[in-house]
């Protein structure tokens, strides 16, 4: 399956645009976690990369270049990557470990039916190129035959319902980037928090975002032309008669779908998303689709209520189902069946798919090695099975304990920061502190693991394995409907290099794989750890209080707990931060959208401030040591900027700016402009490029 460009979601706020998945009430120790004695280094290291800095640049002119300039000049992006940087470095380490684990399992020949056997067989099937070539399109024949058998609107509705799938990726939950016209996300209700509901989400596009269809930017026009050519080439490869006319029909239908979709900024508004529709009333709310046929095929006919996240988009998409020619829909569905599984079809299909999604949209010039793709697919569909092995082997109890202590310190610093706010009323402060005090923090791995006993994996059926895994995941998510939410549920596997805040659970997950150097190094001085992983921890804490998180209370309920005056002050500060990011121009004529990235930028500013306060408190009143000629605050801020070092191909950078809720790393590093301590640490003066007057520095929490 193709590797789409992901974006974060209001129901789960992630640290970054996911690099890859290899993806204080703390978690109790797992039976699978190793016991490890904690050892303290005698002489801590600086924990930063001195050789990657460019000290010829004034920090006040370009702090990112000061911290990363030599690294930026010397670094080459691997041919099979759209970008590189610290996240990729840490991901590579996790990937190598996972490869070692899988190879070890292959030598052990695990028992039939075990998780270990499923991992081995899934990986082996993906690697069996000869079988994939021999099978051709045969594994897709049931799907293609079902599409051919659609004869009327009810049949089309049944097929669309039968292919409804759950979106379990928190980085993608409110824009279900999939060929499926709609997606399902299962989580606690926004009004009724006592049970899980299904959220229906817009989808249906083959390119990452509606702007790829609607923007007049020259690069987007080129992407559209390349996509049209790709549709045609894939149809011809499959021997489709009258491919030219069908390719045009498919693109024209997707253009209408893009026009129907809600834009990102509207999708981020939680209040616009809170639309509980009785299942019996869908025909009234969104006429067009035969909803009885759709929900019966989707296994949702017994649900009383579903929540329409983008109601107007769902109405328009439903109308398209009824108004557009049946033949156009069948051509569209056939193309997307081929497209979605192209990487598991014979090489000509996979190469065409990579040429568009890898080279055209991301700028990569070489396909990733097959073993890496096999590993990623295995990890995606058997994530918890792989994760159990990962934490047992690579995540010591000492690291878990130290990170939990840092989390506790940063949460305490955040609460103290709330106490120090002069503009906030006592009643709002009280609720904010209660939320911080009760935030559930998972470090390393979940308390409970997924059970894959009913998932059938075959050693010679790569595409079948993927199909069965998608269906397995959908059934798992659907089974949660109507049940009480699990406050301890994890939305990332332990081997994911990322972190996430979960507003509906008032919880955070910090997977084991991100708790590695240079983000977290047990041998490094506290300044570097607080500047890197500490700022990440602070970022996720602050997501509970950003423009979205502040809408939820300590129990994860959608609840306005602000006084009108406090809310107005918060909005004014947020607007100033949005304007600050609007001014950044990553590519000529292409500016960051300050509103689109606002939640992440608030979390960066507030999280960095909380991490700095926690670092100072960790010194217990003692002066910070000077290491390699750098003070503690200097090392703290440099570590933060180096955590965001990244080098990205132009196509991928454009995709991120247009369609992602995170600013690119180079501009996230400039968060420091808003902290008074940065000016003092580096003697930043008026007249330097990054200088902001004290009254222009944004302080929210």
Separation of CA 466 from chain center? 21
Q: Report d(CA 568, CA 265) in Å as an integer.
A: 20
* Digit-coded pLDDT (tens) for 561-602: 889 999 899 999 999 999 999 999 999 999 999 999 999 999
* Digit-coded pLDDT (tens) for 386-417: 999 999 999 999 989 999 999 999 999 999 99
**DSSP tag of 166:** E
What pLDDT is attached to residue 640? Answer: 98
Separation of CA 399 from chain center? 24
What pLDDT is attached to residue 549? Answer: 84
What pLDDT is attached to residue 6? Answer: 32
Select from 341, 380, 344, 312 the least CA-distant residue to 460. 344
* Digit-coded pLDDT (tens) for 601-615: 999 999 999 999 999
Establish whether the linkage from the previous residue to 518 is cis, with ω within 30° of 0: yes
What pLDDT is attached to residue 700? Answer: 87
What's the whole-number average pLDDT of the chain? 91
What pLDDT is attached to residue 167? Answer: 72
> Under a CB-based contact definition with an 8 Å cutoff, are residues 541 and 410 in contact?
yes
Tell me the average pLDDT across 289-317: 97
Domains within the chain, CATH numbers bracketed: 395-440+488-696 (3.40.390.10)
Phi first, then psi, for residue 638 (nearest 5°) are -65, -40
Least confident of 45-54, 541-550, 673-682: 541-550
The full length of the chain comes to 701
Tell me the average pLDDT across 275-292: 98
Question: Is the pLDDT confidence value at 381 over 60?
Answer: yes
Six token digits for residue 130: 């000869």
> How many other CB atoms are there within 10 angstroms of residue 585's CB atom?
12
Q: Report d(CA 69, CA 52) in Å as an integer.
A: 6
Cα 206 to Cα 339, 353, 366, distances in angstroms? 8, 11, 21
What pLDDT is attached to residue 483? Answer: 97
Question: Is the pLDDT confidence value at 21 over 60?
Answer: no
End-to-end CA distance of the chain: 42
Tell me the average pLDDT across 482-488: 94
**DSSP tag of 354:** I
Question: Is the pLDDT confidence value at 173 over 90?
Answer: no
Local confidence band at 327 (pLDDT 50, 70, 90 cut-offs): very high
Local confidence band at 11 (pLDDT 50, 70, 90 cut-offs): low
Q: Which residue has the higher pLDDT, 22 or 282?
A: 282
For tokens 């991100």, name the residue. 514
Local confidence band at 2 (pLDDT 50, 70, 90 cut-offs): very low
For tokens 């995709």, name the residue. 655
Please report which helix (H) or strand (E) contains residue 271, including its range: helix 270-273
State what percent of residues in the chain have pLDDT above 70.
92
Tell me the average pLDDT across 653-658: 92
Question: Is the pLDDT confidence value at 19 over 90?
Answer: no
Residues 6+ apart with CB under 8 A from 679: 60, 691
> Under a CB-based contact definition with an 8 Å cutoff, are residues 307 and 504 in contact?
no
Give the β-pairing of 196-202 and 305-308: parallel
Question: Is the pLDDT confidence value at 174 over 80?
Answer: no
Tell me the average pLDDT across 127-139: 96
Q: Report d(CA 396, CA 177) in Å as an integer.
A: 36
Rg of the chain (C-alpha set) = 25
Six token digits for residue 317: 């998409």
Least confident of 179-183, 268-272, 426-430, 546-550: 546-550
Maximum C-alpha span of the chain: 77
Question: Is the pLDDT confidence value at 10 over 60?
Answer: no
State what percent of residues in the chain have pLDDT above 90.
84
pTM across the whole model: 0.89
Per DSSP, the three-state class of 506 is coil
Give the β-pairing of 500-502 and 507-511: antiparallel
Local confidence band at 26 (pLDDT 50, 70, 90 cut-offs): very low
Local confidence band at 547 (pLDDT 50, 70, 90 cut-offs): confident
Could you write out the three-class secondary structure of 593-642?
CCCCCHHHHHHHHHHHHHHHHHHHHHCCCCCCCCECCECHHHHHHHHHHH
Q: What phi-psi label fits residue 444: left (phi over 0), alpha (psi between -120 and 50 degrees) or beta?
A: left
> How many other CB atoms are there within 10 angstroms of residue 457's CB atom?
25
């Amino acid at each position: 399956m193709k590797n789409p460009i992901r974006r974060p979601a209001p129901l789960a706020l992630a640290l970054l645009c996911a690099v890859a998945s290899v993806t204080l009430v703390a978690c109790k120790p797992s039976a699978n976690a190793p016991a490890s004695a904690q050892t303290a280094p005698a002489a801590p290291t600086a924990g930063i990369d001195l050789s990657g800095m460019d000290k010829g640049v004034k920090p006040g002119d370009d702090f990112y270049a000061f911290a990363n300039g030599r690294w930026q000049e010397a670094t080459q992006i691997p041919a099979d990557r759209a970008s590189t940087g610290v996240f990729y470095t840490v991901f590579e380490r996790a990937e190598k470990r996972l490869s070692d684990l899988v190879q070890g399992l292959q030598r052990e020949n695990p028992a039939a039916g075990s998780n270990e056997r499923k991992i081995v067989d899934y990986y082996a099937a993906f690697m069996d190129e000869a079988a994939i070539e021999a099978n051709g399109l045969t594994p897709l024949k049931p799907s293609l035959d079902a599409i051919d058998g659609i004869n009327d609107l009810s049949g089309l509705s049944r097929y669309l319902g039968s292919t409804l799938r759950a979106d379990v990726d928190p980085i993608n939950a409110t824009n279900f980037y999939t060929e499926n016209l709609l997606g399902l996300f299962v989580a606690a209700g926004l009004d009724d928090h006592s049970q899980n509901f299904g959220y229906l989400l817009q989808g249906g596009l083959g390119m990452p975002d509606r702007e790829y269809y609607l923007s007049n930017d020259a690069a987007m026009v080129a992407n559209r032309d390349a996509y049209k050519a790709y549709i045609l080439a894939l149809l011809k490869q499959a021997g489709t008669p009258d491919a030219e006319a069908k390719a045009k029909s498919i693109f024209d239908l997707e253009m209408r779908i893009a026009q129907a979709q809600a834009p990102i900024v509207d999708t981020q508004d939680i209040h616009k998303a809170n639309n509980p529709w009785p299942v019996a009333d869908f025909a009234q709310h969104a006429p067009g689709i035969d909803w009885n046929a759709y929900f019966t095929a989707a296994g949702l006919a017994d649900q009383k209520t579903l929540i329409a996240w983008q109601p107007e988009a769902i109405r328009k998409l439903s109308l398209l189902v009824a108004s557009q020619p049946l033949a156009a829909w069948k051509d569209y569905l056939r193309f997307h069946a081929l497209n979605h599984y192209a990487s598991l079809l014979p090489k000509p299909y996979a190469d065409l798919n990579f040429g568009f999604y890898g080279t055209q949209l991301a700028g990569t010039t070489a396909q990733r090695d097959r073993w890496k793709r096999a590993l990623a697919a295995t990890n995606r569909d058997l994530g918890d099975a792989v994760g159990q092995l990962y934490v047992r082997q690579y995540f010591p109890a000492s690291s878990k304990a130290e990170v939990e202590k840092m989390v506790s310190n940063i949460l305490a610093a955040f609460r103290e920061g709330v106490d120090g706010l002069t503009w906030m009323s006592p009643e709002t402060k009280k609720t904010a502190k209660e939320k911080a005090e009760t935030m559930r923090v998972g470090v390393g791995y979940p308390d409970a693991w997924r059970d894959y006993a009913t998932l059938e994996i075959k050693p010679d059926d790569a595409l079948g394995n993927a199909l069965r895994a998608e269906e397995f995941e959908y059934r798992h998510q659907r089974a949660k409907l109507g049940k009480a939410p699990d406050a301890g549920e994890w939305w990332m596997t332990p081997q994911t290099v990322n972190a996430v805040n979960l507003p509906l659970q008032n919880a955070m997950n910090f997977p084991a794989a991100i708790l590695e150097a240079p983000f977290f190094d047990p041998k490094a001085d506290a300044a570097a750890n607080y500047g890197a992983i500490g700022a990440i921890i602070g970022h996720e804490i602050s997501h509970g209080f950003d423009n979205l998180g502040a809408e939820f209370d300590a129990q994860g309920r959608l609840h306005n707990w602000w006084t009108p005056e406090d809310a107005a002050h918060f909005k004014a500060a947020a607007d100033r931060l949005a304007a600050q990011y609007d001014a950044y121009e990553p590519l000529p004529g292409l500016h960051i959208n300050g509103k689109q990235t606002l939640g992440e930028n608030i979390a960066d500013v507030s999280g960095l401030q909380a991490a700095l306060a926690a670092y100072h408190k960790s010194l217990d009143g003692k002066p910070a040591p000077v290491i390699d000629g750098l003070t503690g605050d200097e090392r703290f801020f440099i570590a933060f900027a180096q955590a965001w070092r990244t080098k990205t191909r132009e196509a991928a950078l454009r995709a991120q700016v247009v369609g992602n809720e995170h600013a690119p790393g180079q501009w996230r590093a400039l968060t420091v402009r808003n902290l008074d301590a940065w000016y003092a640490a580096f003697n930043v003066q008026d007249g330097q490029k990054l200088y902001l007057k004290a009254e222009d520095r944004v302080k929210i929490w």
